[in-house]
């Protein structure tokens, strides 16, 4: 009898998504570093049951891990501690490559956090700050002074503005890449290019 119910629980696949790099780091620090994770809104699960959890690591892929419910935080208790209800889970089985991908993702986020990118518009600012980069406004009339002696990673502007920014910083002794893009279309290639620049940067 319990076998059928257990098989049904095993077939459950919970999906864990992170809306921003800071959210991922917060979840990792509290849970994944201890070999477990907290899955929000999973407070209807039974303690000690096992479920499959799909974890999406942006840029590294999706992984399905087997987890055992260690504790359940119901809605009332969560409200008292100003937390969200859910279930704390212990990882009991992870696929090949998961730990390496997790460490690589954390390393990438660390490098992004140390990198400053000047951006022209709010859409780009949202994409890059959500991905973990530090961002500030790129102002054409102040762009040369912002590049001199700075540790900028890149300047990201709309495609029509790219030539004006490149011409403006041509007199700067510091060579900073100017990337022209339409962030709504080029989000993944943009992040890949910025990660390449981070990796190639000395020290």
143-174 pLDDT per residue, tens: 999 988 778 999 999 999 999 999 999 998 88
Predicted confidence (pLDDT) per residue in 29-49, tens digit: 666 765 788 888 888 888 899
Query: What is the total count of domains within the chain?
Result: 2
Residues 101 and 6 in one domain: yes
Whether residue 86 is found in the same domain as residue 172: no
pTM of the model: 0.70
**Same domain as 94, residue 16:** yes
Model confidence at 190: pLDDT above 90: yes
Q: What share of the chain is helix, strand, coil (3-state, %, to 5)?
A: 45, 30, 25
**Domain of 158?**
114-200
Beta carbons within 8 Å of 36's beta carbon, 6+ residues apart: 67, 70, 88, 89, 90, 91
């Amino acid at each position: 009898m319990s076998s059928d119910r257990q098989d049904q629980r095993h077939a459950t696949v919970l999906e864990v998504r992170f809306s921003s790099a800071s959210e991922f780091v917060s979840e990792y620090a509290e849970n994944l570093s201890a070999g477990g994770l907290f899955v929000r809104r999973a407070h209807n699960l039974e303690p000690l049951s096992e479920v499959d959890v799909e974890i999406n690591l942006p840029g590294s892929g999706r992984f399905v891990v087997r987890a055992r419910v260690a504790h359940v935080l119901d809605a009332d208790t969560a409200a008292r501690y100003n937390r969200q209800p859910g279930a704390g889970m212990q990882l009991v089985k992870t696929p090949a490559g998961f730990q390496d991908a997790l460490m690589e993702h954390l390393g990438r986020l660390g490098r992004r956090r140390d990198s400053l990118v000047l951006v022209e518009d709010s859409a780009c600012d949202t994409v890059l700050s959500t991905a973990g980069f530090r961002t500030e406004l790129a102002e054409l009339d102040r762009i040369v002074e912002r590049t001199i002696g700075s540790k900028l990673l890149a300047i990201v502007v709309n495609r029509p503005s790219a030539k004006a920014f490149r011409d403006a910083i041509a007199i700067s002794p510091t060579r900073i890449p100017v990337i022209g893009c339409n962030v709504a279309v080029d989000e993944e290639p943009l992040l890949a290019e910025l990660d390449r620049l981070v990796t190639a940067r000395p020290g």
